Structure 1
């Protein structure tokens, strides 16, 4: 059974022209950019499609630009494919994109929030004070230990991103980051100093975190339509009530991306769609063989996704259909009868049961896989039997829900 996640990229995925392919071919994508223009009162669309890289790279522009491109990809996906995710997650800034697409934050609010988030993060530390570096080739425990040994009052360095088993990012004061970087190099690590405007996800961002918390308090939030995993906890948000706290703390805390991916794996996610520009998250997972990741950036990506996900969904329904009908027969037999009216029993139980068995035998005889219509017919007959046997409504619902879950057909058939 396929289980699907949506992944949303963070800062660093931006480039001039992002979103252009979707805007050219899907009007809904262009509408998202137009809504962002209106919410921000400046031409974000023009900046993304044909602006200068220097302007786009400014944090206050980068964040709303990536969020808008991600939401545009999500809108196109939902219009063209429409298969909802089991989970969503976003890397740093991407967490706000994930919350927005899950319905937790209205789009216009999300765009305004991330623009302010970018400004606050940029203002928190004067340029030239902070630095970040990506580290690979050495165990995380060693990196954590070196950060601890170097850090002292006024010269801090911490792990800011647990990106994958192969990559960790450190962040803090320039001198401290350089010291840890050089020490790790001497141990055989590969260290790449990043071109960033501030030491993100470190204690130096505390002023931004405090100010962003006050900004978040001005907005209203909604419950999410599907689970969104927090960067802070690497677990789903319990409810909308944690949005202000989690998004504030996230600015100073490390991004637990590797733990997030492990949570998805443990939740049986085997397919994911990267909603947004480039393939940064796909590349982070290149050594992960249990989750197949698809892009959503171009028309070709959407067509490929459509073919892949919809055809597999139809196949999955067919393959699990016979199991569903067989379980319906078993449930009908095992359910205790509470109705002693012989006429009702004959019509509601005996005749319905015979039809249910005949349905399965006919499919086997014709070597035909069940269609969705066959599955719905089996469900209708089983409900007639359970109703006639006077099984209480709450017990009926529990048994039918269990039946759907065990056969992997709950999402295909719909709600009871």
Structure 2
């Protein structure tokens, strides 16, 4: 099917070539062949470039991604470059046409590396295929010239890959793009290489040897480019993964430090004498007692230590009844069925809950058992509610660790969102 495509191009442009060659200065057979090869290359590259530009335009209108629009502009520049090159042919400057044309194509094609990521291997293959074919067809007697262009292309690709001066669009983020770029690379390579092999079959001995030597000389450069691109992509991927791991570890450590610190605070506060004295009194004697006043005053003092993030301090008896609470509307409630109360009694030590949703909002609950000093009998539980804002602030402080606009996402072991600053409406929703 590919051969029929090439034959169709050759037949369609045969008359065009003969008519145009009559308008050029007297040429040698080599020069006539160069002009013919140039026109055949135009007949192949212009339709493919136009189709690519149309595809990028359609995809840009759907996605609105500016990098895709930039890719369309590059393809239009490649297509448009053939017009001024034709004037060089009309002036009989065939070797200059070949050098400038091949260089221009190589430079423009390398610009796609500025635009897309995860496309390096396809761009390297496609770029070297274009350089080899254009060089072999247009400047066959200046092999070192197009080999130098190949090295320039490899240098540009490597420089862009390592420096990455502009934000690039990952082609894997778009299914059409991840299919189109490899497909067009294969199509361009096959169609244009077909012209080389056609010349290899029908050309004279000198032409055959020249093409064989040219391709053999370019293969190492192509191999080096592919290997360098693969290693570079692997190194960048590993660096990105390491950066993400470091940022995630730093954020997780900050959250763990917050929880550990407040567990210790809860345990220490549960050992304060006013709380122990109050809960040690018989239930009938607690109301309006001096011990109750002292315990309530201490609760408010502790709550005022962090008014931004502490929602409430409370004392519960061993039955789960809320005896005192800095949010007075909670007094008289029973929290015996709450996990944070049950775990504090069952474990006999401080405990932090999963995210809790109640009238005060979303937050964490820290609890610790309160024991008598003499016999260490558990007489109640200290409960502290922290607003989720405390965790969100920690997450905000760890923004941009792996680049601008990077934001941590805090999940629990069931992949439930605990903190999602980009989509707070999805709080406590499972991640898709």
TM-score of the superposed pair, with normalisation by structure 2: 0.28
In our comparison, the structure showing a higher alpha carbon Rg is: 2
TM-score of the superposed pair, with normalisation by structure 1: 0.29
Structure ranking higher on relative contact order (CA contacts 8 Å, 6+ apart):
1
More helix, by proportion: 2
